[in-house]
Structure 1
């Protein structure tokens, strides 16, 4: 800019000094679009200088204002970003203290000052934790496409909130979620809870392979779950008719019928409907084939004396192995069921000397009570409670 002013000043000086030195100031006539303007060379030079200086001053002023505005905008942006960082820090501290609503409010304020996917994602998580699922979904959308693949957790949290208040809706939404073939253990554990609460036993049966694979249940929990599911399915059929219950059993493959938890479930259902002889028969066949252990039958109370082959099997086994604890208890249970309390007492006396089982002492108390010996019964019950 400075060099341009110098050049113009030299040109103007030349235009003025030249005519003056020659004794002729000179005139200038300008015509344009019907307009005419006449002046001396000196006056034109002065006007030009004034115009250039004015324009230079205006341009310089505008540039100064723009520089100041940019600096001011940058300062304001830095201040907003600093405030957003402070809000995020506060929100994260609230998260660590499980104050999810306070954290959500801080994240929302921070996002207004500095929009970022990370803040939106943390706001979504906070909303999710305080069961604000609409807001959680809103902020998950704000976070962007990279975070949308985690939307399943929002669905799962909603299902968890429904599982006690609206089991049918929870089961319906769970079915939709499982169609995505999730691998997360939490989803399969939640599915187990939802279907049990809504009594969807067939659906539980259908997803049992996935539950075994992904839910992370230990062997004991899996065994209990399988038994519960199959038992409830048998009960559903048994409520229809005896034949429906039998047909449900026969519809299973031979290998399924030989599986311990399926056989025990069927025997439990038969006992539930008062089919004690049929129950004892199912248990006897399982024991003979080695599909069941006598301890499984004892613990579930599935031994009944009205099936002679079962009684014979227990007696024959004890002849070969007189000290077998499981079969001694089985003999006591069968004798008690047959009201042969003396035999039951002799069997339990042989077993109980070295037993610290609560169940054994309770059974002994029941036997003494049936024999009319209330003092010995009380002693046995007291040992059961010890």
Structure 2
């Protein structure tokens, strides 16, 4: 920094001395926003030099303050650590001398300077021996704020075993553990199993954000879990009456209602409750707004042929993309529902050529069977079974476990 400053000063000195030596100082004209500044080269050079020196001094001062601030904070931190350590040592000495009152005071002082679990535990121990049960309870409460991963993991294992024989007791213990440690991944991962066994769907629904946030489950398990939980919640509300179900649906956040899984779960619940007309309207709104895809509706078996809006939606899609396998499958499925087996066979056969799947071949087999062609129906069913077999093989282990 100093060398650079010296070089700048030498250059500026040359600019000043040169014109003076030649007897011609020259001038500098600066015009900006209607203002004019006219000075000699010497004057301009002096102004530049002074500005550079001031900038350098300001930079040096700021660096100095920053360094002192860091040193000061480091010194204060070290001082606090020394005070905590001194109070801790004094507390241990008092404890050895059976002076529990002084011991508690010193451990409390150490905890105040730096909150650590051992300080709280020793302060509680001293309070208990002193006979101050209220102070001992307060220190136990403070101690419970510190996470104990090994203890929690052991409790999760115990709850998992307990759920096999006493599911309700396991549910209560799990919720108690999560109230102590809301972010424990093991407890959150166990929650779907324990809470679904006791049908505590509302408790599980409230835990879904934490399960997702803490990555307690793999991504491919989160969406099916969310769908199952919401479906059961919708069914429970629906059994209390349509008004209760509709109220619960509208209480959901607007963004949540536009989620494909949530909307499909709602429509599926309506279908189970015999409200197919309302379910079809829910599906059509989701398709029209792009909240869900036609493929998702087909996969959930929620395509309703009795709804004119859905029929028009599929027909419009086929007019735009006549070779689209999903629209062809939708047409075939609607034809099956309406009893037009010839149309169903043609549409599903085309769908199988464009986008083959177990579902398409199974429905094609149904169409052939309805048309009285058992051979082609058997062939289609066999192809559907081969897709199911391939899917099962992908999930099956490649090696046998070692014993």
Give the TM-score, by structure 2 length.
0.57
Partners of 2:258 and 2:286 within 8 A in 1: yes
Partners of 1:344 and 1:367 within 8 A in 2: yes
Structure 2 distance, partners of 1:192, 1:277, is: 32
Gaps of 5+ in 1: 1-145
Query: What aligned pairs does 1:234-313 form with structure 2 within 5 A after superposition?
Result: 234-313=234-313
Structure 2 distance, partners of 1:318, 1:232, is: 35
Partners of 2:326 and 2:355 within 8 A in 1: no
The residue aligned with 1:334 is 334
Gaps of 5+ in 2: 1-145, 387-403
Partners of 2:325 and 2:355 within 8 A in 1: no
The residue aligned with 1:375 is 375
The residue aligned with 1:206 is 206
Q: CA deviation at 1:176?
A: 0.7
Structure 1 distance, partners of 2:227, 2:148, is: 38
Structure 1 distance, partners of 2:304, 2:148, is: 59
Partners of 2:323 and 2:354 within 8 A in 1: no
Structure 1 residue 350 corresponds to structure 2 residue 354: no
| 2:225 partner SS | helix
Q: Taking structure 1 as reference, are residues 214 and 147 closer, same or farther at Cα in structure 2, changes over 3 Å only?
A: closer
Q: CA deviation at 1:373?
A: 1.9
Q: What is the root-mean-square deviation of aligned Cα atoms in Å?
A: 1.9
Structure 2 distance, partners of 1:366, 1:342, is: 11
- Residue by residue over 1:19-42, the C-alpha shift from the partner in whole angstroms, topping out at 9 and shown as x without a partner, is xxxxxxxxxxxxxxxxxxxxxxxx
Structure 2 distance, partners of 1:301, 1:149, is: 44
The residue aligned with 2:229 is 229
| 1:154 partner SS | helix
Query: What aligned pairs does 1:4-153 form with structure 2 within 5 A after superposition?
Result: 150-153=150-153
Partners of 2:325 and 2:352 within 8 A in 1: no
What is the count of residue pairs matched by the alignment? Answer: 241
Partners of 1:359 and 1:384 within 8 A in 2: yes
Structure 1 residue 365 corresponds to structure 2 residue 365: yes
User: Greater Rg, structure 1 or structure 2?
Assistant: 1
Structure 2 distance, partners of 1:357, 1:221, is: 22
- Residue by residue over 1:93-124, the C-alpha shift from the partner in whole angstroms, topping out at 9 and shown as x without a partner, is xxxxxxxxxxxxxxxxxxxxxxxxxxxxxxxx
Q: CA deviation at 1:258?
A: 0.9
The residue aligned with 2:110 is none
Q: CA deviation at 1:375?
A: 2.1
- Residue by residue over 1:130-176, the C-alpha shift from the partner in whole angstroms, topping out at 9 and shown as x without a partner, is xxxxxxxxxxxxxxxx9966322232122111112111111101111
Partners of 2:287 and 2:293 within 8 A in 1: yes
Structure 1 distance, partners of 2:239, 2:147, is: 48
Partners of 1:184 and 1:215 within 8 A in 2: no
